[in-house]
Structure 1
Amino acid sequence: MAAHRHRPLVLAAAVAVALGAGAFAVTSASAAEAPLKDYELTWGIKQSYRSYVTGMAAGTFTPSGGATQADGNGAFTFTDGSGTYDSGTHAVRLGFAGSLKIASELHGFELTLSDVRFDSAAAEITADVTSGGTTREDVPFADVTVTRTMTEMETRLTKEAATVLGSAGYEGAAGDPLTVTQKPAATQTPTATPTETASGSASPEPTSSTSTSASASASPSPSASSSSSASPSSSDPASGSASPSASASGTGAPTRGEIADGTLGWGVKQSFRTYVVDGAAQGKITVSGGATQAAGNGAFTFTDATGTYDTDADTLSASFEGAVNFKGHEANGSYGLDLTLSDLGVELDGGSGELTADVDSLGKTSGDVVLADLSTDTAGLTAQDDVITLDGVTAKLTKAGAEAFGGFYAEGTELDPVGLSVALSDDAELPDGNGGSGSGSGSGSGSDGSGTSSGTTGGAGTTGSTTGGVSGALASTGSEVPAGALGAAAAVTLAAGAGVVVAMWRRQNV
């Protein structure tokens, strides 16, 4: 277990606000546990695992008993959380109603998670796991980096979770962010605000209140936290969440000229990122030169755009700074996969165009490779507040792009959508400092804050029951190739380059 699991919760003392003013009268000599109720826990386990279950495993997630799942194969929410708050140690312990059935007939597994619990003092999530007619109680599922607000908390999967999920590669891997909140009551009046002591711990202190209700409560507020919880989401760019912006508005910039700044958001392809970090490549993704990667092995943002635009002719030519390197299949210090994309460029003319990049693969460099054909939902380019923004631009792999990826994907394969924002004047403000929906964002997985996302080592094991199951490593790769073949491919790749997995990935056409 991680060292932090046994330290008391200091920052989450804000939960004490929910107990009302009476709780603050408890002295250290008479510190006791006070009841908590009406809490919700939201956690997605791990995005790549959800993609595997509903994708290659052709399986399902079935929440029941009050548990729910967000649309789009999203995170799970467990409700009716109740438990205790220890006014002496500021520890929060909650149990939640609802269960989650995870099943795949194709890959031969079925398991149910229930009695999900959060313990801030132990800094962990546990759950009862039922599989093959047997229930194991209080299985440690994830270590949690507890924050005062208890929102978007980082999680790391345990060895036990890796066994349950069927892949040793999940042990120690970053899970989805965890949020524990109190369900808002019909009427709530805050009666106290927690403050930080000189030692850095949070101690609740009452403040003035006009409420006459001694039972009024307030859910934890997103106030001061010792760690950033507003990390970007691990979801991939939403294709079609927004069409290219073409709304008419006034702009002080001329209809044609030089681009002052801009960002490009693109995830390349989600399944490729998963393959590199969590799959057979057992590798890592590194960004440099001003590029960043969203946490959760998310999409990339390239910055400092230069180029030209013409809104009358609906043309745009932009280049972006930054590079991303995909590296994997390591043996004796050498890599069978070592691919770098840099100097990304976008050319658009009347709603169609191309995405280019300099490509370095295993030491061989090719400049201005046309990686993808681009198409927008509208041909027009319109500036708003001196910014042209395009979201959800469709990108399809070209023949040259397929060669750049060593034949992992066939020509015409749809890649992650592209998003970009370019400023037409020096004082124009780019939206959120990113390139629209294509920038993608994430929380809690594989990012160390420097923009480098480190891979996790896959391993043997099974998903669910062994009957009719597949290698646990496949839960990460989303592949149906036997584990032995994956191991052999990794070894052969070192001698023959990334192209040795061509046949395997063409079969999947992931």
Structure 2
Amino acid sequence: MSARRRRSLALAAAVATAAALGATAAPSASAAEVPLNGYELTWGIKASYRNYVANLAQGTFTPAGGASQAESNGAFTFTGGTGTYDSTTHVMSLGFQGELHIKSEKHGFEIGLSDVRFDSGKGEITADVERNGTTEDDVPLATVTVTRAMTEMATTLTKEAGEVLGSAGYAGAEGDPLSIVKKAGPEPEPEPSTTEPATTPPASPSTEPEPTGSATPTATASASPTTQAPTPTPSTTATQSTEPATQGEITDGTLDWGVKQSFRAYVTGPVAKGTITASDGATQAFGNGAFTFSDATGAYDTEAGTLKAAFKGAVTFEGHEHDGAHSLDLTLSDLRVNLTEGKGTLSADVDDLGEISQDVVLADLSAPSPTLTAKDDVITLDKVTATLTEAGAKAFGGFYAAGAALDPVSLAVALTEGADLPAGTGGDGAGGTGTDGGPDASGSTIGGAGSTVGGDLGGSLASTGSDVPVGALGAAAGAALAAGAGVVLALRRRRPAAE
């Protein structure tokens, strides 16, 4: 019996059971899940793999049943996405139509992918995989760094994906970005009961999944839907809150920032073999994801377009351990954002091997719009471009040159007490450390040894690109790597406390 048929029967049984229980079911349980439909998922798996199949293996990709492939051996799109949004746990679960058949007679393999599914709570994409005449259901193919926009989300291929694709070198490698968008369908999407507006999910998809297994929305259920795209469910009419003052004090807020994805991968990867610790109010998202800093204070002026906000929390990067000391030991804390008409800076206190520098301007910021707009007493800024400064480059020990693109910044600040904030990408648990790529005791998840430095070192060196923190490798290390002799690092010792 196919996985799709099996799920249909299970769903029918669940619906029948729920109908039979009727009045005995708790109202909150029935109100929690909102049906979703009309979504599309686009993912290319990995560009180097597509090139291998089409060129070296002289194979083919054949999409069917609602799936398609972009021109010039591009990414794949799966349509007809349906599922649910849980307004209690803030988890979005979607399944997509379409199949993809991958075949090479020259290299003797044939693979079928179907029933592609996405779960924002787990931060993963799965599919049913057919190989050698047998089908394995719900194989995890990649972990996903879930974002508010749900577009161009970073992916990391799993060990299982390496087995499916025929090379262990793909395990832990950076996959193609994943996008999920809402497409208008011929039939209107069912709306939740208007008598229970609290069950309406946010208009924007969830951010990084929380360590507890839930993903975080961009607006709470009780607020009216925002205008951000894509919209997970159709908007419903809600009463708008009173317009806030044009200037005043910030009462709360969160800052979402991953620093730089390749840096996180480097720290926890096979070269540095290190750990990342989020503490003092900061949290890290599932799968070695981005960080959330909390409890914002500061001031705003929407007429002048100015925003000054400070956030609690610290993030520590440790790696290259030698005789009990780490040559990489960097902590960022007391993050501050200063914006005027969409331009500004991101600063932090920097502790580098015990040497503390306060208010270091790490990045120049550029917001998509010069204006600040409050909705439901909250100012939200997404996809604020962050560019490394000279001082930031020095703080990172020359890992990256000034002008390098850092991860984008997203923030939300409350203008009144009790205003509902979107939860951050790092979840709501305490930060922790780890090197195994799984959750630690606190529930935080840190990327493990399967991560790579900007690409799959087990595969083509060309895939590392310019995103590799070349300062950590050095000229000698780069030459050794190019020669296939491995990576050589000059380790710095932590300075004695007396110095």
AA paired with 1:317?
K
Q: Distance in 2 between matches of 1:459 and 1:416?
A: 17
**Amino acid in the other structure paired with 2:13:** V
1:424 equivalent to 2:415? Answer yes
Alignment of 1:310-329 (within 5 A): 310-329=301-320
Q: Which has the larger radius of gyration?
A: 1
Decide whether aligned partners of structure 1 residues 44 and 392 sit closer, same or farther in structure 2, where only a CA change above 3 A counts: closer
Aligned-residue CA RMSD (Å): 6.0
1:27 corresponds in structure 2 to: none
User: What is the CA-CA distance between 1:297 and the residue it aligns to?
Assistant: 2.5
CA deviation after TM superposition for structure 1 residue 263, in Å: 1.0
- In structure 1, C-alpha distance between the alignment counterparts of 2:336 and 2:54, rounded to whole Å: 37
Partner of 1:98: 99
Amino acid at match of 1:257: G
Q: Which moved more, 1:156-165 or 1:380-389?
A: 156-165
Q: What do the CA deviations read for 1:285-335 (whole angstroms, capped 9, x no partner)?
A: 221111122223322111101112223332221100011222333445443
Per the alignment, in what secondary structure is the counterpart of residue 433 of structure 1? coil
- Measure the CA separation in 1 of the matches of 2:130 and 2:480: 29
For residues 69 and 313 of structure 2, the distance between their equivalents in structure 1, rounded to whole angstroms, comes to: 34
Cα distance in 1 for residues equivalent to 2:161 and 2:480: 20
Contact 2:349 2:359 in 1 (8 A): yes
Is 1:17 paired with 2:16?
no
Gaps of 5+ in 1: 1-10, 25-39, 81-95, 104-108, 119-123, 130-134, 145-154, 187-226, 234-239, 243-247, 464-468, 498-510
SS at match of 1:492: coil
Structure 2: distance between partners of 1:389 and 1:459: 32
Preserved CA contact (<8 Å) 1:277 1:455: yes
Which residue of structure 1 lines up, in the alignment, with residue 491 of structure 2?
494
Q: Distance in 1 between matches of 2:266 and 2:325?
A: 18
Residues 385/345 of structure 1: CA separation in 2 closer, same or farther (3 Å cut): same
The answer (yes or no) to whether the contact 2:480–2:488 under 8 Å persists in 1 is no
Residue equivalent to 2:65: 66
Which residue number in structure 2 is paired with residue 396 of structure 1? 387
Instruction: Give 1:457's aligned residue.
Output: 449
Asked if structure 1 preserves the Cα contact closer than 8 Å seen for 2:172 and 2:451, the reply is no
User: 1:206 is matched with which residue?
Assistant: none
SS in 1 for 2:422: helix
**Which of residues 326, 339, 343 in structure 1 aligns to 2:334?**
343
Q: For residue 64 of structure 1, report the CA deviation from its aligned partner.
A: 1.2
Tell me the residue number matched to 1:209.
Answer: none
Distance in structure 1 (CA, Å) of the matches to 2:54 and 2:362: 30
Aligned equivalents of 1:66, 1:340: Cα separation in 2: 50
Q: 1:297 aligns with which of 283, 288, 291?
A: 288
Give the equivalent residue in structure 1 for 2:458: 471
Kindly indicate whether the alpha-carbon contact (under 8 Å) linking 1:262 and 1:423 is maintained by their aligned counterparts in 2.
Answer: yes
Q: Distance in 2 between matches of 1:351 and 1:158?
A: 38
Query: Which residue is equivalent to 1:359?
Result: 350
Say which of 120, 126, 129 aligns to 1:127.
129
Q: TM-score, normalised by structure 1?
A: 0.53
Query: 8 Å contact 1:279–1:476 — kept in the other structure?
Result: no
Return the alpha-carbon distance in structure 1 between the equivalents of residues 304 and 381 of structure 2: 16
Per the alignment, residue 231 of structure 1 pairs with 215
Match of 2:233 in 1: none
Secondary structure, aligned partner of 1:401: helix
Q: Any idea what the Cα deviations from partners look like across 1:8-35, whole Å, max 9, x if unmatched? A: xxx99944517979xx9xxxxxxxxxxx
Q: Structure 2: any 5+ residue segments left out of the alignment?
A: 1-6, 21-37, 82-96, 117-125, 142-154, 188-210, 218-227, 231-239, 429-436, 469-477, 495-499
- Tell me, yes or no, if the aligned pair for 1:285 and 1:453 is still in contact at 8 Å: no
Quote the residue 1:114 is aligned against: 112
Deviations 1:347-392 (A, max 9, x none): 1123211000111223322111101111223333333333222222
Residue type at the aligned position of 2:100: S
CA contact (8 A) 2:266 2:451 kept: no
Alpha-carbon separation, structure 2, partners of 1:285 and 1:300? 11
Identity of aligned residues (%): 43
Rate the CA distance shift 1:348–1:282 in 2: closer, same or farther, 3 A. same
Q: Say how many residue pairs are matched.
A: 364
- Matches of 2:76 and 2:360, distance apart in 1: 37
Question: 3-state DSSP class of the match of 1:452?
Answer: coil
CA–CA separation in structure 2 for the residues paired with 1:387 and 1:474: 45
CA distance in 2, matches of 1:159, 1:18: 33
Instruction: Specify which structure has the bigger relative contact order, considering alpha-carbon pairs within 8 angstroms and separated by 6 or more residues.
Output: 1
How far, CA to CA, are the matches of 2:173 and 2:389 in structure 1?
A: 37
TM-score by length of 2: 0.54
